[in-house]
Structure 1
Amino acid sequence: MIFAQRYMMPNLGELLLSRENYKPYPTIAERRLWDDLPQNLRAYWINKGAGKLGHEWNTLTATAYMDYSRTGNRERYDTVSWERRAALASLVIAECIENQGRFLDDIVNGIWCICEETFWGIPGHGYMMKRKDPLPDVSEPIIELFASETASLLAWTHFLLQSELDGISGLVCERIRLEVRKRILDPYLIRDDFWWMGFNQERMVNNWNPWCNANCLSAFLLLEDDRERREEAVIKAMRSLDQYMGRLHSDGGCEEGPKYWIYAGGMLFDGLEQLYGISAGQINVYEEPLIKQIGRYLYKAFIDGSFYVNFADSAPAVEIPAELVYRYGRRIGDERLSELGARVLKKKQEEATDIEFSSMSRLLPALFHYAEVEQYTGEAPYLRDAWLDGIQMMAARERQGSSKGLYLAAKGGHNDESHNHNDIGQFIVYCNGSPMIVDPGVLTYTSKSFFSERYTLWAMQSGFHNVPVVNGIQQMHGRQYQANDVDYRLDDQAASLSMNIAGAYPDFVGIKSWKRTISFNRGSDPSIEIKDEFLLQQRTVDVMLILMTTSLPQAEEIGSYILQDENRNRVSIRYNGEQYAGSVETIPLEDDMMRKGWGNQLYRIKLKLKSPMDQGECVVRINRIR
């Protein structure tokens, strides 16, 4: 309990700045820093705002909200909701930079439309309301991810533009204060039963905890005048964040995957920065080993370019918040982490990539640290080896400091992780930074993505991961389905992860033992080896090993496949062709998110036993073809 041990004290209120003295960033009236922004950045945001002049604030209809309960689709409502908020943020930043008043009427329209919404959250989170109805209950304000984020956006808008908005009508900022207090500030202080707070131990907390807490903190620190209420909110946020950090492993690993690190570890950093700022640096936990490890996870999962180890609900390519990652690295004194952020920013500049909307708590520091990040050079973020013993994930590459050659990542763990896929023993292989043997990742979220129907979706099932299927049965979900006897070893010649994955399957499958050893062997011809040694209760021919690939596997000879991508990166896959028969299945990708990651299809190599066995082994070797 990091905060409880260090900052829960009677005089905590003396550390906190008043609302009048809390000036995290300049308002529109404080011109020097706004006027000193790089010209290209100024032009970008002014043009972005100009594109929203006369913006049509599309209607959020009741029937669009009910799509979720009727069809399971959440896109029609969610998209309009998020577009409204992105438009408002663009207009606010454009006005702060240009300072000529031409964006103000559209900003007022955006504020008014959002304040008129019945519910600031999304249909998929309506389950938190006591009344289980297809429509949201206006009488029960609940705090979920996007309600809290909306409050933060409005609070920052109020902070930056209050003088200008009051010049139009005093009711605009008064409306912001009224709605944020009613929907967020009061419920945050009154209720302890929101599951994400972590005070009810019946459900584990995840990224929701720092995500909601960081955004609620923004609203309190920027809008709340009452010192006692502000202090109460800070205390509650620290207590709740302690609950989140208390369930993390000391390795700082994010079992939800790199995409969710943005909203887990990244949102934790947002909250820590606000606590640091409101106390003028006196609430400072950046020397805590866990806080450092949470940041370092990101480059331990980094492959190359935009690719990260995409276990759990993570897409293979992740656009990390460059400036946040840079600042996190600077806070904890880690050059690799700061360099990772700086490289992402430079890549965006080179490719002229559009800057996606993010929360104001990230947009503002991204603006005012832009030139600093642009000029930074640190240590290359390519670790040769990484092992996270808590989430049981290993990564290895041919050499430190370079993405050239083979790359391996593998995991153990259990099948009740946050955003879990049934994937005990999963591994992925890249070559020169390009995907070869992969984890499919996540489908577009629908009503089936969570709760009871989650594992009816193919992308969550072990049969579409690089693990065995035995007697036609896949791995099961639940905390009891886990890897046992997990052993990671590292020396100058090799890195390996071994485990017994029999416990990931139900007892009736008849697996006595299934030892999987995943090794990265270094030397003059580096290779990756997957060795499966199994012992079954009875003889069967129904044993199948899966390999998911991005490129169409070409059968070279019996017991061998070749993978080659569009950049002519090539690997060979060899196995015992006398005992196992190989075949290739095309998996058409119809989901937009999956197609964005992989294209129109993936391929599934199936290695099947040719004759019945009750014990045996299969060795798959992967080499780079130079």
Structure 2
Amino acid sequence: MILSINKSFSQPLIDEVKAAWELSENQPPVQLQLKHILDYFQEGNRLKFENEYFGRRKELLVCSLYAMEMRTPPALRKLEEIIYLVLQEHSWALPAHWPSPYGSWADRKYCIDLFAAETAQALAEISHELKEFLSPMLLLWISQEIEERIFQPFENKKWDWEQKENNWSAVIAGSIGMAALRQLGSGSRRQAILDRLDDSFQSFLRGYGQDGVCVEGMGYWAYGFGYYIYYAALLESTTGESKYFQSAKVNAIASFPYYAQISEGEYVPFGDYNHTALPSGLLSFLKERLQVPIPNVKTISSLNEDSCYRFAPVMFNLMHSSPCTQEKTNRLVRYFENSQWLVVRDQGQHWGFAARGGSNQESHNHNDLGHFVYGGCAELQLTDFGAGEYTKDYFDEERRYTYFVNSGFSHSIPIINGHTQMAGNYQARVLGHQLNGNLITFTLELSEAYPNNSGIISFKRKFELNLETAELQVKDEMHFKNERNEILENFVTGVRPVIVGSNSIQIEAKGKKVMLQMNEPLAIHTNHYQDHYGNDKKAYQIQGEYTCGNKFEFSCQIILINEEEVSK
């Protein structure tokens, strides 16, 4: 039986596991098809093969958890068959992460990516939990495959992910570390592996500022920091070592979701954001272990919350989830100095706002300096479209910004003389951020992000937000080299806007109406893009076109109208 700090709270997830087992008990196992690997290399489509790969990981997860909980012979025997299929896989790594499809077979089999490491961790934990119930021969084969596919390749070379300052270093190091704690005895070899993995964890932490912001997107906070914590917790319970909990930066990272929450379950959608609930076990554990504020935990995370069906988060959810309700704060204002994010939420009037400076050279970067989101808590009328569909070209730096969601065109920033922002080491400069009574101002210098042939000398964007009325003023001031310049002010929404008069726009969604007012006629343009799951979505660009001399000043007034006023 799976141990849990709150069995009754965890019961809905156990019930989901049982239901999933009943549906799959007599079904044939998922097959991984060569044609879908070829689809990736020929067409760039990742989803076809990955749907099969993660379908098999779901079978492994469901069957192993059911077997741990119920210990029935049918579940144990089916689990052994699924494990045997996993052990036979050509590679535990995804084709998107192989060095080359035409290289040696060993390069693919012994490739350590996120999912190879996660597979090893899952098998190691399953072996540990069910060692008295699984075939001794199969347990030996599991150990041999983890040894050959993970431990030896790790020891035999340096891997580029060890220095990555993003989720990769934490997820892979955390998975290898957990596998080592379960598979290797407490000798010098295990300690040498753990010591080397420490370099990867330090690389991961360097990817965060002292403010704790995950610029990759909130889902990557749960992913990277989650595996950091899963490993830290197992290391502490196994060896007593607690060093990974002992830093102010770790506490800041742990509290990031609380301060970046726009409304319950909704977070600032910058970067490759993808809407998903954060793991209940991770949040509950952070509250208990680090005593940091967290978003409310009202239910345990669903089995199907993670479409990759990773073992470690679900097991952690079962073990550590417990209810937690924070004392309600009607209004919260948070400025994150290192990332240059300003976040405001008003739970009393149900609206939120966030604006960002930062850099256009971030992990999972979008070209979006000076971008902002604004609107009702249930749905932001002025938004960010987050992560697009992950394809081969999506992570090709030469092609990434041809994708609408990653380019400047999909963000609420202007196009200047036909040019939008560039990717690379271009920084926003904060000229000021202050709160005077009910008025917040946040001013950025953004000219560095635009190319030289845009003619821009300086570009100051100033946000003025009235906390009492929720009225927002966006003011742009630009200076140019040229005497004649064209500026396209651009604001984006996922809700169909309506033109009211010549220079006003209304965007209404879920009981809130936002009105934009400018001093020139406006136009609406519709774009299509593929979201993270490959679904076709519509994006609307609200644009005002301006011609000016070597100086340009612009102001947009944005007003929030509450539900009772909308219904009149």
TM-score (norm 1): 0.84
2:502 aligned residue: 558
**Cα distance in 1, alignment partners of residues 411 and 10 from structure 2:** 46
1:573 aligned residue: 516
Change in 2 beyond 3 A, CA 1:223/1:403: farther
**Cα distance in 2, alignment partners of residues 415 and 165 from structure 1:** 50
Aligned pairs (5 A) from 1:3-42: 40-42=12-14
CA contact (8 A) 2:226 2:313 kept: no
1:22 aligned residue: none
**Cα distance in 1, alignment partners of residues 522 and 6 from structure 2:** 62
Q: Write the letter of the residue equivalent to 1:436.
A: Q
Tell me whether 1:100 sits opposite 2:59 in the alignment: no
**Cα distance in 2, alignment partners of residues 111 and 353 from structure 1:** 20
Equivalent residue for 1:43, pick from 15, 35, 44: 15
CA contact (8 A) 1:253 1:297 kept: yes
Equivalent residue for 2:56, pick from 70, 73, 84: 84
Aligned pairs (5 A) from 1:214-293: 214-225=174-185, 227-280=187-240, 282-293=241-252
Equivalent residue for 2:390, pick from 414, 438, 445: 445
Equivalent residue for 1:606, pick from 537, 543, 547: 543
**Cα distance in 2, alignment partners of residues 323 and 35 from structure 1:** 12
1:325 aligned residue: 283
Q: Write the letter of the residue equivalent to 1:616.
A: F
**Cα distance in 2, alignment partners of residues 412 and 151 from structure 1:** 39
CA contact (8 A) 1:141 1:184 kept: yes
1:542 aligned residue: 486
Q: Write the letter of the residue equivalent to 1:582.
A: L
CA contact (8 A) 1:66 1:134 kept: no
Instruction: Give 1:159 shift.
Output: 0.9
Q: Deviations over 1:123-181 (max 9, x none)?
A: 1111xx3x562886457612110000000111111111111112xxx211111000000
Change in 2 beyond 3 A, CA 1:61/1:286: same
| Further displaced range: 56-65 or 469-478 | 56-65
2:414 aligned residue: 468
Equivalent residue for 1:512, pick from 435, 453, 457: 457
Change in 2 beyond 3 A, CA 1:102/1:132: closer
In the alignment, structure 1 segments of 5+ residues that lack a partner are 1-27, 199-203
CA contact (8 A) 2:91 2:109 kept: no
**Cα distance in 1, alignment partners of residues 184 and 534 from structure 2:** 43
1:588 aligned residue: 528
Q: Write the letter of the residue equivalent to 2:359.
A: H
Q: Write the letter of the residue equivalent to 1:90.
A: V
Instruction: Give 1:302 shift.
Output: 1.0
Q: How many residues get paired? A: 560
Q: Deviations over 1:479-518 (max 9, x none)?
A: 1x22124432224322222111110011111001110012
Q: Deviations over 1:45-97 (max 9, x none)?
A: 22222222134223323332222211101112111111111111111111121
**Cα distance in 2, alignment partners of residues 383 and 140 from structure 1:** 52
**Cα distance in 1, alignment partners of residues 297 and 456 from structure 2:** 48
Tell me whether 1:157 sits opposite 2:126 in the alignment: yes
CA contact (8 A) 2:331 2:348 kept: no
Instruction: Give 1:284 shift.
Output: 3.7
**Cα distance in 2, alignment partners of residues 39 and 416 from structure 1:** 43
Q: Write the letter of the residue equivalent to 1:53.
A: E
CA contact (8 A) 1:303 1:382 kept: no
Q: Write the letter of the residue equivalent to 2:267.
A: Y
**Cα distance in 2, alignment partners of residues 48 and 420 from structure 1:** 37
1:618 aligned residue: 554
Instruction: Give 1:472 shift.
Output: 0.6
Equivalent residue for 1:171, pick from 131, 137, 148: 137
Q: Deviations over 1:350-395 (max 9, x none)?
A: xx8855464333222322334xx13x33334776111111111111
TM-score (norm 2): 0.92
Aligned pairs (5 A) from 1:336-485: 336-337=293-294, 340-343=295-298, 345=299, 354-356=304-306, 358-370=309-321, 373-374=322-323, 376-380=324-328, 384-398=332-346, 402=347, 404-451=349-396, 452-479=398-425, 481-485=426-430
**Cα distance in 2, alignment partners of residues 355 and 454 from structure 1:** 27
**Cα distance in 1, alignment partners of residues 440 and 356 from structure 2:** 13
**Cα distance in 2, alignment partners of residues 165 and 364 from structure 1:** 19
Instruction: Give 1:251 shift.
Output: 0.8
Q: Secondary structure at the match of 2:524?
A: strand
2:115 aligned residue: 146
1:11 aligned residue: none
Aligned-residue Cα RMSD (Å) equals 2.5
**Cα distance in 1, alignment partners of residues 149 and 356 from structure 2:** 41
**Cα distance in 1, alignment partners of residues 5 and 209 from structure 2:** 40
Q: Write the letter of the residue equivalent to 1:144.
A: D
Change in 2 beyond 3 A, CA 1:582/1:358: same
In the alignment, structure 2 segments of 5+ residues that lack a partner are 563-568
Q: Secondary structure at the match of 1:535?
A: strand
Q: Write the letter of the residue equivalent to 2:522.
A: G
Q: Write the letter of the residue equivalent to 1:272.
A: A
Instruction: Give 1:267 shift.
Output: 2.1
Change in 2 beyond 3 A, CA 1:495/1:433: farther
| Further displaced range: 410-419 or 238-247 | 238-247
**Cα distance in 1, alignment partners of residues 238 and 151 from structure 2:** 17
**Cα distance in 2, alignment partners of residues 440 and 57 from structure 1:** 36
**Cα distance in 2, alignment partners of residues 290 and 149 from structure 1:** 25
Instruction: Give 1:39 shift.
Output: 5.3
**Cα distance in 1, alignment partners of residues 532 and 3 from structure 2:** 43
**Cα distance in 1, alignment partners of residues 108 and 485 from structure 2:** 60
Change in 2 beyond 3 A, CA 1:616/1:181: same
CA contact (8 A) 1:119 1:136 kept: no
Change in 2 beyond 3 A, CA 1:613/1:292: same
**Cα distance in 2, alignment partners of residues 277 and 381 from structure 1:** 35
CA contact (8 A) 2:54 2:309 kept: no
**Cα distance in 1, alignment partners of residues 481 and 333 from structure 2:** 37
Instruction: Give 1:228 shift.
Output: 1.2
Q: Write the letter of the residue equivalent to 1:110.
A: I
2:565 aligned residue: none
1:196 aligned residue: 161
CA contact (8 A) 1:96 1:160 kept: yes
CA contact (8 A) 1:64 1:76 kept: yes
Change in 2 beyond 3 A, CA 1:446/1:38: closer
Change in 2 beyond 3 A, CA 1:31/1:304: closer
Percent identity of the aligned residues?
22
2:253 aligned residue: 294
Instruction: Give 1:36 shift.
Output: 8.0
Change in 2 beyond 3 A, CA 1:37/1:248: closer
Instruction: Give 1:43 shift.
Output: 3.2
**Cα distance in 2, alignment partners of residues 292 and 35 from structure 1:** 27
Q: Write the letter of the residue equivalent to 1:363.
A: V
| Further displaced range: 543-552 or 300-309 | 300-309
**Cα distance in 1, alignment partners of residues 265 and 11 from structure 2:** 27
